[in-house]
């Protein structure tokens, strides 16, 4: 059965944190194995003063770049299969704004739905999704789950069980792995100094290409609005 873990890098409204909002995700045959192995890495390879933290993020400033790359290589060797989506924040359509305020919950739901589409079709009758717990502005958490289930159901075998859970990443090691994946890909997209090396480490684990949402949205809209003159 597909177990899919997701986490994001970036914020929708704070440009100082980068130009992109990235969702990194992975599926793996045995999530319990990846959980145990990454937990062991956490306790033995990270600096001693960090080992007792409940979570160590990809962006942790106390980690040097050598250890950052070693950790990504360790994740790649866990046989994770990766999909990712990303949004250039300046391309966000006005459809996700209400009275000039971003409805980030609706936008996040759309990005997660697009990410999950990349895992379809599947033959299994169980489809289990775990993403980081976050505030969903404009929608309730129950609505978020129902929207995703309704979106997925027509594309799954009849009688499928769909599980959508939002979990505190400090309590779930696999979501922490997803944080490392999304963080590494974000650095690549933002063209940070270590970004290309991070991407090369994960490249063979990535299924296909990443998907950009609303690519060139405003440029295309401007072109479509140009008046058409007849000769």
pLDDT score for 87: 97
Cβ–Cβ under 8 Å, residues 189 and 181 = no
Phi, psi for residue 87 in degrees, rounded to 5: -130, 125
pTM for the model: 0.93
Spell out, as residue ranges, where the chain has pLDDT lower than 70. Answer: 1, 14-16, 221-231
Q: What is the structure's pLDDT at 2?
A: 78
User: What's the pLDDT score for residue 1?
Assistant: 65
User: Can you read off the two tokens belonging to residue 93?
Assistant: 């359509």
Q: How far is CA 106 from CA 20, 61, 76, 165, in A?
A: 17, 31, 32, 17
Could you tell me which of 24, 19, 20 has the C-alpha nearest to residue 8? 24
CA distances, 149 to each of 44, 93, 114 (Å): 39, 24, 13
For the four alpha carbons of 94, 100, 103 and 107, in that order, the dihedral sign comes to: positive
Query: What is the distance between the terminal CA atoms of the chain, rounded to a whole angstrom?
Result: 60
Q: Go through the domains of the chain in sequence order and give each one's CATH number.
A: 3-225 (3.30.420.10)
């Amino acid at each position: 059965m597909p177990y899919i873990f997701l986490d994001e890098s970036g914020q929708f409204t704070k440009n100082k944190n980068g130009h992109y909002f990235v969702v990194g995700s992975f599926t793996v045959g045995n999530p319990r194995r990846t959980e145990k192995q990454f937990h062991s890495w956490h306790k033995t390879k990270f600096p001693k003063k960090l080992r007792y933290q409940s979570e160590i993020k990809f962006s942790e400033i106390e980690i040097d770049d050598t250890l950052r790359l070693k950790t990504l290589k360790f994740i790649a060797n866990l046989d994770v299969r990766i999909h990712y989506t990303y949004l250039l924040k300046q391309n966000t359509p006005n459809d996700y704004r209400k009275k000039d305020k971003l409805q980030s919950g609706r936008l996040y739901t759309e990005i997660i739905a697009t990410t999950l589409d990349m895992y379809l079709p599947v033959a299994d009758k169980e489809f289990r999704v775990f993403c980081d717990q976050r505030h969903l502005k404009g929608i309730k958490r129950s609505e978020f789950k129902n929207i995703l289930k309704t979106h997925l159901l027509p594309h799954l075998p009849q009688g499928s069980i769909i599980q959508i859970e939002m979990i505190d990443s400090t309590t779930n090691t696999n979501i922490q792995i997803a944080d490392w994946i999304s963080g590494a890909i974000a650095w690549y997209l933002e063209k940070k100094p270590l970004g290309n090396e991070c991407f090369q480490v994960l490249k063979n684990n990535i299924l296909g290409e990443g998907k950009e949402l609303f690519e060139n949205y405003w440029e295309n809209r401007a072109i479509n609005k140009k008046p058409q003159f007849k000769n």
